[in-house]
Amino acid sequence: MKLLVMGPPGAGKGSQSQKLIADYELTHISTGEMFRRSYERGEEIGKKAMAYINEGNLVDDDITNEIVRKRLLKPDAARCFLLDGYPRTVTQAEALDDMLKEMSSSLTAVINIVVDKDIILERMVGRRVCKSCGHTYHKTFKPPKVEGVCDQCGGTLYQRVDDQLESVRNRLKIYETKTKPIIDYYKGRGLLININGMQSFEAVYKDIQKALRGLR
Ligand code: ADP
Ligand code: AMP
């Protein structure tokens, strides 16, 4: 299965992807996570990307397409993958189509998690992420067992710089103008599955599973 999970920032893409990759044995490709890891490793590409990210802007299309192209060519992405947070512009969606064509591959489905703006703000400002493994929590909706400590690996939890209010507002604006048009792009190709993201984690996941039933 080759899935793409999209939706506004804070919709729950990462949270649902964490379950999907485990249950469906998919290789997780999250561009945001790849940029953060690259920055932590002190790489040039990560430093360049982080300058955009901290301001709540999108990373340049060429940089983003290039890291995805390299990632998709690795053997573990040959059969099954889940793209989380990519593409985020129509230019990226077109580039992805070209990459998949070159690999004689295609997407199985595009899951679009739909969430209203007021809910998004609350989710993003309360988000906490593990520095070591990237697992995501929420101060209120999904607190860790021990405050500030990751349940999965014992790593330290932190608040992303781009989850502060100013940056979140900018990201939402950019989502409306640059990312939302992709919904029609995939709708026109018959791939789009809309999922109501304004429910509990478990209810959202159940709806996704239902929608994926019968797909391979
Ligand atoms: P995205 O990857 O789309 O930016 P995340 O999966 O990181 O979003 O979720 C954003 C925040 O909202 C996280 O703190 C997460 O724990 C919380 N969250 C995600 N889905 C739900 C949900 N269905 N109900 C309540 N909180 C949620
Ligand atoms: P995420 O972890 O998906 O919330 O992404 C965090 C940030 O990384 C985004 O706000 C962007 O600045 C950057 N980013 C992630 N994916 C992309 C993408 N496909 N195109 C451009 N920028 C991206």
Residue 61 domain-assigned (yes or no): yes
> Structural domain tally of the chain?
1
Ligand 1 center to 84 CA (angstroms)? 13
Residue 151 domain-assigned (yes or no): no
Q: What is the pLDDT of residue 2?
A: 97
Q: What is the pLDDT of residue 84?
A: 96
Residue 186 domain-assigned (yes or no): yes
Q: What is the pLDDT of residue 118?
A: 86
Ligand 1 center to 102 CA (angstroms)? 34
* Sheet hosting strand 127-130, strand order edge to edge: 136-138, 127-130, 157-158
Domain that holds residue 91: 2-115+170-212
**Owner of token pair 């209203």:** 116
Ligand 1: residue of 142, 196, 208 to mutate (most ligand atoms within 8 A of CB) is 142
Residue 148 domain-assigned (yes or no): no
Residue 150 domain-assigned (yes or no): no
Q: Torsion-angle region of residue 148: left (phi > 0), alpha (psi -120 to 50) or beta?
A: left
If the chain, 216 residues long, is cut into consecutive pieces of 10 residues, what is the mean pLDDT of each piece?
A: 96 95 96 94 94 92 96 94 97 97 95 94 94 93 97 96 90 96 96 97 98 90
Alpha helices (runs of H) in 6-89, residue ranges in sequence order: 13-24, 31-40, 44-54, 61-72
Residue 109 domain-assigned (yes or no): yes
Ligand 2: residue of 59, 62, 99 to mutate (most ligand atoms within 8 A of CB) is 59
